[in-house]
Amino acid sequence: MPNEHNDYVRDLVFALKKLPGIGERSARRLAFHILSQNDAAAFGLADSIINAKKHVNLCKICFNLSSEELCPICSNSSRNSKMLCIVENPEIIYVFEKSGNYNGYYHVLHGLINPLEGVGIDDIRIEELVDRVANGSFEEIVIALNPNSNGEATSFYIQKILAPYNVNITALARGIPVGSDLEYVDKNTLAEAILGRKKF
């Protein structure tokens, strides 16, 4: 019969196991690590989760994570207003910014079309994208989605729906291995893929 203490530990392991890439063993390891820390460190971790969750929302324009109405990128008027880069999630913006080869704006879809999991065009930020392109002054739209079947399907759909607008649609150059996650591509490979982008 587990005592109360074990229930708390089990709850913590269970919560950690829900994180992406964390299996039972890693969850246990993290839980034991957190519990072995002093109060300040463990409560600090909990506080930073609570604070981030309370104060970070989505940018009203590009849907990047932001603690203000507009994210720092959308509030920066010195960026290239002719370019818009479409990404799957805010993490990719971070990777792009680190690569240092892109100075336009972004649009975060928050997902990819995924028929097997029932994710359709209305479940991601495509309508908002079309609005931005229709009302903006973009000249080039860079589609920067992961090279997997959902990424391809989404890219194809976006290319079709943006076709009536007077914009060049480009895609990242090949060189990013098929099936890989842009989050994990090293910054030089990504920089080359940005520089070598070509017409969709």
Tell me which stretch binds Zn ion (CB under 5 A): 5-13, 22-30, 55-63, 140-148.
Answer: 55-63
* Nearer to Zn ion among residue 74 and residue 158 (C-beta): 74
Contact with Zn ion (CB under 5 A) among 13, 16, 31, 59: 59
* Distance of closest approach, residue 74 Cβ to Zn ion, in angstroms: 3
Whole-number CA gyration radius for the chain: 20
Using an 8 Å Cβ cutoff, are 127 and 95 in contact? Answer: no
Q: CB under 5 A: which stretch of 29-37, 52-60, 146-154, 180-188 binds Zn ion?
A: 52-60
Which of 13, 27, 62, 129: binder of Zn ion (CB under 5 A)? 62
Can residue 61 be called a binding residue for Zn ion (CB under 5 A)? yes
Are 74 and 136 in contact by the 8 Å Cβ rule? The answer is: no
**Cα–Cα distance between 66 and 56 in angstroms, integer?**
5
Sequence-separated (6 or more) residues with CB below 8 Å from residue 31? 9, 12, 13, 16
Residue 66 or 99 having the CB closest to Zn ion: 66
φ, ψ for residue 199 (rounded to 5)?
A: -55, 135
Among 13, 74, 83, 176, binds Zn ion (CB under 5 A): 74
CB of 155 to Zn ion, least distance (A): 21
Q: Does 84 bind Zn ion (CB under 5 A)?
A: no
Looking at the chain, list the stretches that DSSP marks H as alpha helix, in order from N- to C-terminal side.
Answer: 4-17, 24-36, 39-55, 90-99, 126-135, 149-162, 187-195
Would you tell me which residues interact with Zn ion (CB under 5 A)?
59, 61-62, 64, 71, 74
